């Protein structure tokens, strides 16, 4: 398959949170913040952390050891400002510098559909999570006709991206040792919670 281009967020990093994308992400942030189960001192990784909004919200909910990774340098500058006490790093989501079974929770909020190597991320999430650890995927929810149009447009324009249903997300992770615990949705946002066996 020909290489595809990534969406570029660095040019919008300074105004991302206050702009359309940040505001339209509120439903995703709310789903994650409400449904991620935390206890004090957990190691939590936000894969594709962007400006650090999810890490900040989760840390405000419960004292955690927060970690964030992203491939966009300027987004990470915002995350480091928002979460100065956390470990924020520039790296891809399918090859990280962290230890095996280091994390209790991994979150990917509005990021999974952008990942160019979804199997690579699934494999890495399985490596990073402790047995019984949880993976939360918050991504767009679109009705079938619109989902087909969006996915076809992404293919035509050779842009990384694929919108999945909750069942499809679960099926993508099943070969890597994950089972679905639940899914939730709110309008155009969905959250899938998976457990590492």
Mean pLDDT, the chain, rounded, equals 91
Q: Looking at the predicted structure, is the pLDDT value of residue 164 above 70?
A: yes
- Reported as a single tens digit per residue, the pLDDT across 14-67 is 555 565 455 668 999 999 999 999 999 999 999 999 999 999 999 999 999 999
Q: Which helix (H) or strand (E) holds 32?
A: helix 26-35
Report how far residue 79's alpha carbon sits from residue 89's, in angstroms, rounded to the nearest whole number: 10
User: How confident is residue 160, by pLDDT bands cut at 50, 70 and 90?
Assistant: confident
* Residues 6 or more apart in contact with residue 165 via CB below 8 angstroms: 141, 147
Stated pTM of the model = 0.89
In sign, the C-alpha dihedral spanning 82, 86, 90, 96 is: negative
Q: Looking at the predicted structure, is the pLDDT value of residue 161 above 70?
A: yes
DSSP for 83-109, please give it: -TTSEEEE--SSS-SPPTT-EEEEEEE
- Reported as a single tens digit per residue, the pLDDT across 99-140 is 999 999 999 999 999 999 999 999 999 999 999 999 999 999
In order of start, what are the domains of the chain with their CATH numbers? Answer: 10-196 (3.40.50.150)
């Amino acid at each position: 398959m020909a290489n595809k281009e990534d969406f570029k967020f660095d040019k919008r990093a300074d105004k991302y949170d206050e702009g359309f994308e940040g505001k339209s992400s509120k439903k995703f942030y709310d789903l994650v913040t409400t449904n991620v189960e935390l206890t004090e001192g957990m190691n939590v990784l936000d894969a594709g952390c962007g400006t650090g909004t999810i890490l900040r919200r989760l840390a405000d909910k419960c004292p955690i050891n927060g970690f964030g990774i992203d491939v966009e340098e300027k987004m990470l500058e915002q995350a480091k400002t928002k979460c100065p006490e956390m470990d924020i790093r520039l790296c891809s989501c399918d090859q990280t510098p962290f230890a095996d079974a280091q994390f209790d929770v991994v979150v990917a909020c509005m990021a999974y559909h952008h990942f160019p190597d979804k199997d690579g991320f699934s494999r890495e999430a399985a490596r990073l999570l402790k047995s019984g650890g949880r993976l939360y995927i918050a991504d767009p929810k679109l009705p079938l006709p619109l989902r087909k149009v969006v996915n076809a447009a992404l293919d035509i324009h050779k842009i990384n991206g694929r919108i999945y249903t909750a069942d499809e997300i679960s099926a993508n992770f099943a070969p890597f040792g994950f089972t679905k615990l639940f899914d939730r949705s709110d309008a155009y946002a969905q959250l899938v919670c998976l457990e590492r066996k």
